[in-house]
Amino acid sequence: MEEQAFVIDTNIFIDHLRNFSPAHTFFRSIAASETIFYSAITEAELLAGKENNNPQKREVLFLLLQKWQKIPVDNPLVATAGDISRMHGLQIPDAIIAASALYCKAVLVTRNAAHFKGVKGLVVKVPY
């Protein structure tokens, strides 16, 4: 049986980096999985946080991200993201993350399931 793929949304990483216990539990549950992805836009959103002015915290972020596979933002993913944004009123970062999950045929793991409601073919999971 094929392992289910997941795309992790930015808010789940933020919870983990802020030591939110349910996020730690979630990340432990996926630690051995080889089908975990995150969007390049998630990396940009995480790096934009002021915490990354601290070199140690920035290093912790990079060590966390290197465990999984980054989905580059390129065509045709951006075309899909543009369509999602236009048709569902999503902000571009959320549309790119949704398109990333569709591209990888993965479940999107997020706390903001309502943002992605109605995106055709997108499966969303709220982990905690």
Give residue limits of the domains in the chain: 6-125
Q: 77-88 and 92-103 are packed helices; what angle lies between their axes, rounded to 10 degrees?
A: 130
| Cβ burial 33-62 (10 Å sphere, 16+ → b, else e) | eebbbbbbbbbebbeeeebeeeeeeeeebe
Sheet with 36-39, side-by-side order of all strands:
69-71, 36-39, 6-8, 107-109, 124-125
- Tokens standing for 78? 């951006």
Please confirm whether the linkage preceding 22 is cis (ω < 30° from 0).
Answer: no
What topology does CATH give the domain 6-125?
Answer: Rossmann fold (3.40.50)
pTM over 0.85: yes
pLDDT per residue of the chain (128 residues) written in tens, 0 to 9: 467 899 999 999 999 999 999 999 999 998 888 899 999 999 999 999 999 999 999 999 999 999 999 999 998 899 999 999 999 999 999 999 999 999 999 999 999 999 999 999 999 999 99
